Amino acid sequence: EAGVTQSPTHLIKTRGQQATLRCSPISGHTSVYWYQQALGLGLQFLLWYDEGEERNRGNFPPRFSGRQFPNYSSELNVNALELEDSALYLCASSWTGRGNTEAFFGQGTRLTVV
């Protein structure tokens, strides 16, 4: 069974541009989570999608947005890129429901803003 897949693996953008990151959850998982992991910092929660709806949002500006498609894959968009947006972006998926369900992570997209 395929795990959580993220694309691209690496992405280099210029300040002010837009970046689009993609995530395919494990088959059967309906919840997708996005996290930002800046160098030397922990994982900061960005967004949670479930059944196509945005369920929760972290403390990030509106230029961070996303969506979840009918097949439960998800896209994270970052507009008007700033240098401090350079980070590893991790996507995770899990079954909807109880909090004890394991969240499985992808290998991340390394976004570099120059």
Partner 1 sequence: AQTVTQSQPEMSVQEAETVTLSCTYDTSESDYYLFWYKQPPSRQMILVIRQEAYKQQNATENRFSVNFQKAAKSFSLKISDSQLGDAAMYFCAYRTGTASKLTFGTGTRLQVTL
What letter represents residue 4's amino acid? V
Interface contacts to partner 1, rule CB under 8 A: 31, 33, 35, 41-43, 45, 48, 55-56, 58, 88, 90, 92, 94-108
Q: Which is nearer to partner 1, 16 or 51 (CB)?
A: 51
- Can you tell me the distance from the alpha carbon of 1 to that of 98, in angstroms, rounded to the nearest whole number? 22
- Can you tell me the distance from the alpha carbon of 1 to that of 80, in angstroms, rounded to the nearest whole number? 37
- Can you tell me the distance from the alpha carbon of 2 to that of 60, in angstroms, rounded to the nearest whole number? 30
How near is the Cβ of 35 to partner 1 at its closest, in Å? 8
How near is the Cβ of 16 to partner 1 at its closest, in Å? 27
How near is the Cβ of 60 to partner 1 at its closest, in Å? 13
